Structure 1
């Protein structure tokens, strides 16, 4: 049984094992245990950093308009599942006897990752994104002037604080539940063939389960492809575009990527069409939404317009100090109504007009040349290369001087991730910015994936050995510890999005967690079932399977709620420890 592929799998495992410390050779005492813990911390940190490389590299591609749709719908979810998939894969390599034993590490990582991602980050996102709720459950996302979204600060009322989500979250819950069908495909036959209960182990034959594992594998693959196709078809929906907008706003707010670089494709129309571009062209509509964030930030008195002083503050905050004459020229050009103030429509239309003029003249603006160089085509003299260097040298100091007076809007922008400094180099046109972003993204994703594949195998050995030395089944060790290395980045990302306290960002956070659950149900489970089918392993994971499915059913039901309160957050968080206890209880009751 499993002999046909044993030499190949054993060779792969042995080859990788030679590159790392053999945990079996560590002293069987306290010193050896400390060394084992050190290996776990070291491997876990490396896997955590490599997972971040994959995540950050793939998110950079969202700044490339031609790739944003496919990246958000396919690349991000698939690469996000690579760390968990690698641990599952390497748990099934090596000799047959060793692999059958270490499969518990793989299923522990799969169950721990799925349940952790759907509980703790979800609960933390509600906590971070909570606002006051009225009697109807509507969130206070547009507080009155002088008030905040959450009052009093730190309010954690169980039923009157929480979040609202978009309808897309309910759809995501249904999809996640649908992708879990593969667990039923393999688990039902396991019970039928006597592999689900410990007292029936003698009658359990892996050959009976083998082809059901293959059917489950096919279901996983069909679900995987179907999910990606669905994602691609909806890659231009509001939720997907909102996520791209968040990344674009981060690049522009950091001052390290120009508006032209972020919205290059929106500038390809003919001059004189700016108003039509803003109202009809979708790409420019998204640019207008991004511009509104900056406009609102500098509209300090909240009158939906900015005067010369506020326009001056805007440019100072972006590292530019226009003279009085330059400022007057900008006001004259933007103030088409002649009322002495600039409305958002005047502001956004003028920005597009001037950017397109500069784009036609130079094929786009330079990076970090200052705001007056971007919008002052007719009023500001183009700088020399020496002046550009001086301007760049003073950017950081000027931005720092202006940053102290920022309020909540400033904090929101600062929480965004920044574009790498080399992409912020001078003299890069929008096309060059895009090329540099692609190059940086590809090597980050490639390096991160290579490191994950390299270190997943020794991590499996360490988790298995930790279980042996502590007298705890390896499943529980992997359930708790593996997600710390492979999924910490998702937890941090979802929490960061939720801190924005908007319906859009909390929905982005939840949608990403649902997507991770779908990837575990398809991509990672497919790897597991491939091992069971190809190597002839027994499927003896009834308790773990039931636990995963029950948690996914619970979170799918939560997804149907438009309003999720702090009470929901506490209940969701409790599902993580309760799921571990549930597995232990039903295993003690006789399930495998």
Structure 2
């Protein structure tokens, strides 16, 4: 944006654009690493394991009271790249933080002439060198992403985790005899509690890893998942909220209830990233609906259903087949309580489950076999037709895995042409929108009698980083170690791109328009914040809640430091 505006306008106006660009660069980086970073620590915080938060022995009462008062700040927080006895240690988050810390190298180079009081000609050489280093860093980062696509793999792994949740919930649905949801669509807590006591074979009110393994060993996990022990370890970690290597009744009920609520919420908001997630929820709704319908007919017991009387009730035109319209008519006549549902979607799903021969109608044999299976009175009455759904998902995930591992990357001319065309289109859109944005900042600055730098440092980053903030905070709120690590990885990766790419653009404009470099104070502040957070995340994986307070304080302190260096010390 700033290249388009700065290169096409007068030198005086371009100088203002550079000032605005520096404010946006500094403001965006500092906002993300302070306010957004700190907010993610708070919303993603969980109680630390006992070995991290245990009080020291021999403390006096005064120290104990102080420690208890400060416990919300010290005994909870986030853990990235956590090493447990269940999973291998991942270092992607600290790697991203290390990469982000490297983005301050160009800042150090550009500050050398100012610190050493070098001549203007040497300062211009420093600008050229810094620009070259920034571009090299940018290209190397692109190459690194191509040959080490672990960020994409982690995103894919998160989607696979949704499938894992579906597998477990489906199995639990079977273990609870179809009573995972109550009649009003809410999680059936008594049924879940009964299942806990069934799994707790030794009666100690805890589920151990071996007992959980016994519960889940019958699940046919999709082959795209990792090996079975690693999957079970992941499930154990999901349930073991306090990391004591055993699952209590409250933990078991809490996690299953949360999974069900998340599934329902995702479907109600039409988040269809995982098809089987929708299928599970739809199946639960259909099952509840038809069970409620059967119960609403006192004369129609299960034997009534099996000797075809229920079929005759639904078959309105008496042609010995149930059509989609007849099925819809039946469903519309029943009060289903608070269960959220779409009747047309339910009809389609029932047809998929019952219509074995694919003629868009349900004959008596198909109806009896399908309904009896759903009511758990018989099993395997309906023959399987077509491709098994698990096999279908397996093939799809194998294709995606190959794509991520670069085994089947599309190298066609059309793929390259499309990618380049989209890139050019994005550049054109930015070029068109750049000048109005800069003009708006300048006009607002003049009207409010506030330097444009502070407008671009405070207000513009809030707008341009809103999507990043919302996405990061929503991910951190899941309070899961994997999504927490991924959230902070994306924060650090975004800051690296902002530092290197944004700085390259600004240096290009300064060099090609022949400007002097007068923004050392702003660069110094960005360097300090980026290096502080980057090095901390590189050497530490545990961040208590109190670190968010430090991060929040860095934001106003950064603005104050820029003001002191520029307007008081005239350092730039």
Q: TM-score, normalised by structure 2?
A: 0.54
Are residues 1:569 and 2:548 paired?
yes
For the residue of structure 2 that corresponds to 1:308, the secondary structure is: coil
Partners of 1:88 and 1:107 within 8 A in 2: no
Q: 1:219 aligns with which of 130, 133, 145?
A: 133
Partners of 1:179 and 1:521 within 8 A in 2: yes
Question: How far did residue 540 of structure 1 move?
Answer: 0.3
Are residues 1:308 and 2:177 paired?
yes
Q: 1:348 aligns with which of 208, 213, 220?
A: 220
Q: 1:368–1:584: structure 2 CA closer, same or farther, 3 Å change rule?
A: closer
Q: 1:520–1:367: structure 2 CA closer, same or farther, 3 Å change rule?
A: closer
Distance in 1 separating the partners of 2:214 and 2:138: 50
What residue is the counterpart of 2:561 in the other structure?
A: 582
Distance in 1 separating the partners of 2:466 and 2:42: 17
Distance in 1 separating the partners of 2:156 and 2:506: 33
For the residue of structure 1 that corresponds to 2:52, the secondary structure is: coil
Question: How far did residue 577 of structure 1 move?
Answer: 1.1
For the residue of structure 2 that corresponds to 1:346, the secondary structure is: coil
1:219-266 Cα offsets, whole Å, 9 max, x none, are 111111212222233314xx64332243x3xxxxxxxxxxxxxxxxxx
What residue is the counterpart of 1:104 in the other structure?
A: 19
Q: 1:401–1:529: structure 2 CA closer, same or farther, 3 Å change rule?
A: same
1:26-57 Cα offsets, whole Å, 9 max, x none, are xxxxxxxxxxxxxxxxxxxxxxxxxxxxxxxx
What residue is the counterpart of 1:232 in the other structure?
A: 146
Q: 1:543–1:138: structure 2 CA closer, same or farther, 3 Å change rule?
A: same
Are residues 1:292 and 2:169 paired?
no
Are residues 1:525 and 2:503 paired?
yes
Distance in 1 separating the partners of 2:222 and 2:533: 47
Distance in 1 separating the partners of 2:448 and 2:283: 64
Q: Aligned-pair RMSD on alpha carbons?
A: 4.6
Q: 1:460–1:311: structure 2 CA closer, same or farther, 3 Å change rule?
A: same
What residue is the counterpart of 2:452 in the other structure?
A: 474
Pairwise mapping of residues 52-71 of structure 1 onto structure 2 (< 5 A)?
none
Are residues 1:242 and 2:154 paired?
yes
What residue is the counterpart of 1:555 in the other structure?
A: 533
Q: 1:534–1:298: structure 2 CA closer, same or farther, 3 Å change rule?
A: same
For the residue of structure 2 that corresponds to 1:309, the secondary structure is: coil
Question: How far did residue 385 of structure 1 move?
Answer: 13
Q: Which shifted more, 106-115 or 170-179?
A: 170-179
Distance in 2 separating the partners of 1:106 and 1:367: 44
What residue is the counterpart of 1:170 in the other structure?
A: 94
Partners of 1:291 and 1:348 within 8 A in 2: no
1:259-303 Cα offsets, whole Å, 9 max, x none, are xxxxxxxxxxxxxxxxxxxxxxxxxxx4xx4432124446669xx
1:422-470 Cα offsets, whole Å, 9 max, x none, are xxxxxxx9999x9xxx99x999998876554432321112212322333
Partners of 2:18 and 2:509 within 8 A in 1: no
Are residues 1:127 and 2:42 paired?
yes
Q: 1:544–1:386: structure 2 CA closer, same or farther, 3 Å change rule?
A: farther
What residue is the counterpart of 1:74 in the other structure?
A: none
Distance in 2 separating the partners of 1:92 and 1:228: 26
Distance in 1 separating the partners of 2:129 and 2:483: 38
For the residue of structure 2 that corresponds to 1:507, the secondary structure is: helix
Pairwise mapping of residues 126-525 of structure 1 onto structure 2 (< 5 A)?
126-137=41-52, 157-166=72-81, 167-192=91-116, 205=120, 208-236=122-150, 240-246=152-158, 248=159, 286=160, 289-297=161-169, 306-310=175-179, 344-349=216-221, 387=324, 401-402=338-339, 451-525=429-503
Q: Which shifted more, 174-183 or 127-136?
A: 127-136
For the residue of structure 2 that corresponds to 1:136, the secondary structure is: helix
For the residue of structure 2 that corresponds to 1:564, the secondary structure is: strand
1:161-212 Cα offsets, whole Å, 9 max, x none, are 1011013222222211112211122221245466xxxxxxxxx74x553332
Partners of 2:42 and 2:545 within 8 A in 1: yes
Question: How far did residue 569 of structure 1 move?
Answer: 0.6
Partners of 1:159 and 1:566 within 8 A in 2: yes
Larger radius of gyration: 2
For the residue of structure 2 that corresponds to 1:468, the secondary structure is: helix
Distance in 1 separating the partners of 2:2 and 2:326: 48
For the residue of structure 2 that corresponds to 1:218, the secondary structure is: helix
Q: 1:510–1:312: structure 2 CA closer, same or farther, 3 Å change rule?
A: closer
Question: How far did residue 493 of structure 1 move?
Answer: 0.7
For the residue of structure 1 that corresponds to 2:72, the secondary structure is: coil
Partners of 1:298 and 1:313 within 8 A in 2: no
Question: How far did residue 126 of structure 1 move?
Answer: 0.7
Question: How far did residue 137 of structure 1 move?
Answer: 2.9
Partners of 2:164 and 2:221 within 8 A in 1: no
For the residue of structure 1 that corresponds to 2:450, the secondary structure is: coil
Partners of 2:53 and 2:74 within 8 A in 1: no
What residue is the counterpart of 1:591 in the other structure?
A: 571
Q: 1:576–1:343: structure 2 CA closer, same or farther, 3 Å change rule?
A: same
Partners of 2:106 and 2:134 within 8 A in 1: yes
For the residue of structure 1 that corresponds to 2:74, the secondary structure is: coil
Partners of 2:172 and 2:180 within 8 A in 1: no
Q: TM-score, normalised by structure 1?
A: 0.52
Structure 1: which 5+ runs fail to align?
Answer: 1-85, 140-154, 195-203, 249-285, 318-340, 353-364, 374-383, 405-428
